[in-house]
Amino acid sequence: MNKIKIALVGQPNVGKSMLINSISNARLKVGNFSGVTVTKEIVFFEYKNYEFEIIDLPGAYSLNDFTIEEKVTKEFLENENYDIILNVLDSTNLQRNLFLTTELLALDKKMVLALNMIDEALNEGIKIDEKQLSTILGKPCVKTSAAKNIGINNLLETLINKFESEKFPTKLIFSDVIEEEIRNICEFLKESNYKTNNTYRELAIKLLKEDTNTYQFFQKEPIWINLQPLLNHSFEHIFLHFETKDIEEIFNDEKFSFAAGVVTETVKNNNKKNKTLSEKIDSLLINKFLGLPIFLFLMWGLFQLTFTVGNIPMDVIDSFFAKLIDQTKFYLGDNELSSVIADGAIAGVGSVILFLPNIMILFFGIALLETTGYMSRVAFLLDGFFHKFGLHGKSFIPLVTGFGCSVPAYMAARTLKNDKDRLLTLFIIGFMSCGARLPIYVLFVGAFFSKENAGNILFLIYISGAILGLIAAKVLKLVIFKNEDEPFVMEMPKYRMPSFKLIWHTVSNQALMYLKKAGTFILAASILIWFASNYPKDKEFENKINSMMKFAQNDIQIQALQNELALYNLENSYLGKLGKASEPFFEPLGFDWKMSVALETGLAAKEIVVSTLGILYGLGDEVLEDSKSLSSKIKENIPPASAISFIVFVMIYLPCLAASMVFAKEAGGWRYLAYLFVFTTSTAWILSFIAYKIASLIY
């Protein structure tokens, strides 16, 4: 006969004792836990071919050391041997009871939930979807009533099934910042090949919760020397986000958020009661009719600010770099050195830094919405809408992060536990235009549309990319990523006043990353592009033009010959040859070879598209007394239909090199990157071709 040892756990007054008593023919053994006076009740009984041993642990609101009862329960669950945790919950007060459940889930043990007092819940108009709750938590949930002997046999059958089946990974998910630090610690332990009987995730959670026993254990281990600095960095990150250094308060907030999200998804209460302020705000912001229009209005306002306010300092920055280029050429003279510094390095980096204000405003807006708790509500609001396109509700977080940068967006997709949901989300993130694409949009929108409509056009570009992503998700879901939808639970944090310290931290970090990229990667790429656009030189043709210039009769003829030489050198340079070779592929889309080259260099970093265009269209133009801005040069050299087609291609094609590498790592291999390249390139080409043909009829 098989023996099943069960740890019976629950908060006080949830009916644990009555549940045991409702099991007939039970043998009760009463004693004390070792070293304390707390009563220990052990129940033995047989059911079918199994002998059950249930240890009734003292009622505990949470697993801590505040009371003797809680300490006993915690030590037993962490140190003793047992097969299954049976967590008893009061169905009439599920949200409060789930606080303890979240801590039990963190233990990562086999567990069954008994939703007790279900008869009272029904009388109070409370309906619980136990199947949805089971899927969300990854643990079976059974409705019971100890008082009326409801669901007892079903509970016993569930315990047997759980005993015989394998243990599935826990589905307890914390907020993004906590999850990020848990991953960092787990990766460190994995890289250190640390041996333990516990899971790395369980250890990471205990370390972040400052569990005394765990710290005492690790401080005796050699790994502690390298682990401590990592923990210090983790706590700094967490404290900044939660604006408190009270780790207990932080994890209480986490439990509240998780429990609130679960209850919102699985419980319906028909009783009328006075709403809290948060509930009143939620009734408006996540209203099924008003919620989405409110969100779209806020995003529209953000993009209006991004363009209108962001454009104010652009003239100053543009003038600064134009003078810097002129001064560099003046002091260094007309030679190769001055050209590589001025036309290559300064022009390339300057054309990227020009859009820094727009980037900062976009990041500021997203950070503002996140710190108030609004983004979590939007994720919940869009869950049903996302499911229509085959996406998971929690996909919203990595997708909206993609508006800032694809790299953290790909990493944020880790919160999706289902592999197919995660892969599908990873494939769609690129459709969300990242901050690096913003300079390209601002450049083309500013050149081809009026200032009054520029913000609306920018909003339209971002929304169009998101809509295309949803359509692509639906196609991929039907063709490739076929699987059953998982239910969605999103943590519902309390509403908070905006933390400007946290917002400044987010915006400044992103701005510094942007500037660092401009000062290193983009600087090197700009010099490389300058070299590729200036070499090799055709000395024979150059001598021919120089001879003709000697016989020129006026400055206009000299300037024309200089332009002819510059254009010839550009077309026959390494970059020109690359553009000419790929031009047949892009020609149906209305792109000349310069636009083709810009797209190709954008595979390294999207910001380089702007600097490439600046270098290519800055050569061979008639620049006499007044230097024309890049926007003017773009408007003169590119037809409107080609510009629209170009924007569409930029919206869709493969993200930058750094993001592509992270994608490959998160997706599970380089072959997925090859799939992404084929998928995005073919989609971008087809839609750009359609956009070009339609725009050609209009313009």
DSSP string, 90-111: EGGGHHHHHHHHHHHHHTT--E
Q: What is the mean pLDDT of residues 480-485?
A: 70
Fold designation for 2-164? Rossmann fold (3.40.50)
Say if residues 599 and 558 touch (Cβ distance below 8 Å): no
Q: Amino acid identity, residue 608?
A: I
pLDDT for 473 equals 92
Q: With cut-offs at 50, 70 and 90, classify the pLDDT of residue 79.
A: confident
630: Cβ–Cβ under 8 A, 6 or more apart, which residues?
351, 443, 610, 613, 614, 617, 618
Q: What is the mean pLDDT of residues 125-142?
A: 91
Dihedral of CA atoms 620, 621, 622, 627 in degrees, nearest 10, equals: -130
pLDDT for 521 equals 67
Q: How far apart, in whole angstroms, are the C-alpha atoms of residue 563 and residue 559?
A: 6
Q: What is the mean pLDDT of residues 328-342?
A: 84
Q: What is the mean pLDDT of residues 449-457?
A: 84
Q: How far, CA to CA in Å, does 225 sit from each of 78, 191, 213?
A: 25, 15, 18
Q: How far apart, in whole angstroms, are the C-alpha atoms of residue 642 and residue 692?
A: 6
Could you tell me the sign of the dihedral formed by the alpha carbons of 447, 451, 452, 453, in that order?
Answer: positive
Bridge partner list, 55: 7, 42
Bridge partner list, 84: 6
Q: How far apart, in whole angstroms, are the C-alpha atoms of residue 685 and residue 680?
A: 8
Q: How far apart, in whole angstroms, are the C-alpha atoms of residue 212 and residue 148?
A: 42
Could you tell me the sign of the dihedral formed by the alpha carbons of 290, 296, 300, 302, in that order?
Answer: positive
pLDDT for 641 equals 95
Among 73-77, 193-197, 366-370, 472-476, name the one with the lowest average pLDDT.
366-370
Q: With cut-offs at 50, 70 and 90, classify the pLDDT of residue 686.
A: very high
**Which of the two residues, 417 and 590, has the higher pLDDT score?**
590
| Matching residue, tokens 């919620």 | 291
Decide if pLDDT at 248 tops 90. Answer: no
Q: What is the mean pLDDT of residues 248-261?
A: 86
Q: How far apart, in whole angstroms, are the C-alpha atoms of residue 428 and residue 677?
A: 12
Q: With cut-offs at 50, 70 and 90, classify the pLDDT of residue 333.
A: confident
What radius of gyration, in Å, describes the C-alpha atoms of the chain?
31
Among 70-74, 184-188, 318-322, name the one with the lowest average pLDDT.
318-322
Helical spans, DSSP H, in 124-199:
130-137, 152-164, 176-191
Q: With cut-offs at 50, 70 and 90, classify the pLDDT of residue 36.
A: low
Dihedral of CA atoms 201, 142, 96, 79 in degrees, nearest 10, equals: -40
Among 54-58, 113-117, 688-692, name the one with the lowest average pLDDT.
54-58
pLDDT for 91 equals 93
Q: How far apart, in whole angstroms, are the C-alpha atoms of residue 431 and residue 589?
A: 19
Report the interhelical angle of 356-371 vs 438-448 (nearest 10°): 120
pLDDT for 626 equals 33
pLDDT for 418 equals 72
Options 3.90.1150.10, 1.10.287.1770, 3.40.605.10, 3.40.50.300; CATH of 176-273: 1.10.287.1770
Q: How far apart, in whole angstroms, are the C-alpha atoms of residue 52 and residue 20?
A: 11
pLDDT for 487 equals 54
Q: Which of 392, 385, 380 is nearest to 425 (CA)?
A: 392
Q: How far apart, in whole angstroms, are the C-alpha atoms of residue 303 and residue 307?
A: 6
Q: With cut-offs at 50, 70 and 90, classify the pLDDT of residue 675.
A: very high
Q: With cut-offs at 50, 70 and 90, classify the pLDDT of residue 648.
A: very high
Among 145-154, 202-211, 291-300, 395-404, name the one with the lowest average pLDDT.
395-404
- CATH 1.10.287.1770 in the chain, residue ranges: 176-273
The tokens of 405 are what? Answer: 């940068």
pLDDT for 475 equals 92
Q: What is the mean pLDDT of residues 682-691?
A: 96
Quick one: what percent of the chain has pLDDT higher than 90? 27
Percent helix, strand and coil across the chain, each to the nearest 5: 65, 10, 25
Q: What is the mean pLDDT of residues 20-42?
A: 63
Q: With cut-offs at 50, 70 and 90, classify the pLDDT of residue 27.
A: low
Q: With cut-offs at 50, 70 and 90, classify the pLDDT of residue 625.
A: very low
Q: How far apart, in whole angstroms, are the C-alpha atoms of residue 404 and residue 358?
A: 11
| Matching residue, tokens 């929690």 | 394
Say if residues 171 and 111 touch (Cβ distance below 8 Å): no
Dihedral of CA atoms 638, 642, 643, 645 in degrees, nearest 10, equals: -160
331: Cβ–Cβ under 8 A, 6 or more apart, which residues?
none
Instruction: Tell whether omega for the bond before 536 is within 30 degrees of 0, i.e. cis.
Output: yes
Say if residues 634 and 447 touch (Cβ distance below 8 Å): yes
pLDDT for 485 equals 59
Q: How far apart, in whole angstroms, are the C-alpha atoms of residue 159 and residue 146?
A: 16
At 268, which helix (H) or strand (E)? strand 267-269
pLDDT for 622 equals 35
319 alpha-carbon distance from chain centroid: 36
Decide if pLDDT at 189 tops 90. Answer: yes
Among 429-443, 527-541, 579-593, 617-631, name the one with the lowest average pLDDT.
617-631
Bridge partner list, 41: 30, 56
Q: How far apart, in whole angstroms, are the C-alpha atoms of residue 534 and residue 528?
A: 10
Q: What is the mean pLDDT of residues 637-648?
A: 94
**Which of the two residues, 168 and 563, has the higher pLDDT score?**
168
Q: Running DSSP on this structure, what letter comes out for residue 341?
A: I
Q: Which of 462, 386, 467 is nearest to 421 (CA)?
A: 386
Q: How far apart, in whole angstroms, are the C-alpha atoms of residue 630 and residue 634?
A: 6
Q: How far apart, in whole angstroms, are the C-alpha atoms of residue 62 and residue 426?
A: 37
Q: With cut-offs at 50, 70 and 90, classify the pLDDT of residue 431.
A: very high
Q: How far apart, in whole angstroms, are the C-alpha atoms of residue 370 and residue 498?
A: 9
Q: How far apart, in whole angstroms, are the C-alpha atoms of residue 349 and residue 331?
A: 20
Q: Which of 1, 104, 106, 119 is nearest to 57 (CA)?
A: 104
Decide if pLDDT at 401 tops 80. Answer: no
pLDDT for 98 equals 92
The tokens of 596 are what? Answer: 């083709």
Q: With cut-offs at 50, 70 and 90, classify the pLDDT of residue 3.
A: very high
Q: Judging by DSSP bridges, how do beta strands 84-90 and 2-10 pair with one another?
A: parallel
User: What is the CB neighbour count within 10 angstroms for residue 657?
Assistant: 13
Q: What is the mean pLDDT of residues 272-283?
A: 73
Q: What is the mean pLDDT of residues 182-199?
A: 89
Q: How far, CA to CA in Å, does 385 sit from each of 52, 285, 409, 415, 467?
A: 46, 15, 20, 19, 12
Q: How far apart, in whole angstroms, are the C-alpha atoms of residue 458 and residue 454?
A: 6
What's the maximum distance between 2 C-alpha atoms anywhere in the chain?
Answer: 117
Q: With cut-offs at 50, 70 and 90, classify the pLDDT of residue 460.
A: very high
Say if residues 432 and 423 touch (Cβ distance below 8 Å): no
Specify the 3-state DSSP secondary structure of 10: strand
Q: What is the mean pLDDT of residues 204-227?
A: 90
Could you tell me the sign of the dihedral formed by the alpha carbons of 207, 210, 212, 216, in that order?
Answer: positive
User: What is the CB neighbour count within 10 angstroms for residue 347?
Assistant: 22
The tokens of 497 are what? Answer: 């006043």
Q: Which of 178, 155, 190 is nearest to 84 (CA)?
A: 155
Q: What is the mean pLDDT of residues 528-547?
A: 82
Q: How far apart, in whole angstroms, are the C-alpha atoms of residue 254 and residue 647?
A: 41
* Burial class for 328, CB neighbours closer than 10 Å (0-12, 13-18, 19+): middle
**Which of the two residues, 638 and 571, has the higher pLDDT score?**
638
Name the average pLDDT for the chain.
Answer: 83
Q: Which of 372, 386, 596 is nearest to 470 (CA)?
A: 386
